Structures are given as structure tokens and as C-alpha cells.
Amino acid sequence: MSDQRVYRVIFINQGETWEIYARHVNQGGLLGFVEIEEPVFGERSKLIVDSSEEKLKTEFEGVRRFHVPVHSVVRIDEVERAGAARVSSTGDGEARVAPFPTTILKPPGAGS
């Protein structure tokens, strides 16, 4: 295994499942977010072009670090080498906007 770690991060974004490979993943400084640094994509010299990987390359072109809400993360794996990044549908094409989770606090003394 090489000395350079690679992580596979799978998360939900606007009703789609995104699978990204990156060099660094950590909790980061923003509460409730996972920090993903240095996204890794496959070589561009392939004869077969995967449209979902091209979509992600375009989306993250010039991005060095990005943050994903922790409740959107499905899985994080340390892998031996980077694979093809991909986007797949979660099955619910109507779900494009998700509410940010909030905690509803009741004032002291308020009844149930």
C-alpha cells in the first residue's frame, strides 16, 4: 500500500448519491460538517467517458477543500487506490431541497 492515503466518501447531495475520492478527510473546524480535501479523479486519457465522473470533475474543478454536512455522509472508507467518482440517483427524484436539521427547545416550565 502506498504511503499516500486515499479515502472514498459517499454522501447525499440534492437527491443524488455522490461518491468522491480524496486525500484528506477530517472533522474540520465547522461544527456539523466533514471537511474533504484534495479530491482525486481518474486519468483523462480514457477512451470511455463516464458522464457522472465528468459532472463531478466539472463541479470540483479548482476546489481544494469542501465541507459536507455530517448528516449527509453515508460512508467514509480508506482505500488502497482511487476509483472512478460517480453520481447515482437515490430513487426520489422529487427531493431537491432538504431542510437543515434543527433542535426544538422548549423553555423551562413549558408543559408537554
Residues of the chain falling short of pLDDT 70: 1-3, 42-50, 90-101, 110-112
C-alpha cell at 23: 486525500
Q: Given this model, what pLDDT does residue 63 score?
A: 87
Query: Is the full-model pTM beyond 0.85?
Result: no
pLDDT in tens, 62-74: 889 999 999 999 9
pLDDT in tens, 38-50: 998 866 555 556 6
Q: How many CA atoms lie within 13 A of 104 on its CB side?
A: 2
Q: Report which secondary-structure segment, H or E, holds 99.
A: none
Q: Given this model, what pLDDT does residue 60 score?
A: 83
C-alpha cell at 39: 479530491
